Amino acid sequence: MNANPYKDGERLMKVETRLENIEDAVTRMEEKLDKWHGNYISRVEMNELLRARDERIERIEQERLANKQLYPGWINILIAFAALLVAWFHNK
């Protein structure tokens, strides 16, 4: 049947070597997938981050609107101060 028993041994060694190489490659791929998966955040965490960001943006917009509402008051103070200076220098 088998003309050369050493030939079967060589083929078996080649198959074992290839199998070891495949096992090493699969192990490396699993490690890379674990690292890759560890770098991403879950959907729940992403939703929480986006919600917190939206709340900060809303708060900043409200503060900006509140500051704009103060402008007329500050302008009135500046006008009153300018009138006070004009009256003070005019009376001297």
pLDDT tens digit string along 39-87? 888 889 999 999 999 999 999 999 998 888 888 888 999 999 999 999 9
Alpha-carbon distance 52 to 48, whole Å? 6
Tell me what pLDDT residue 5 has. Answer: 65
Tell me what pLDDT residue 3 has. Answer: 57
DSSP strands (E only) in the chain? none
Sign (positive or negative) of CA dihedral 72, 74, 76, 78:
negative
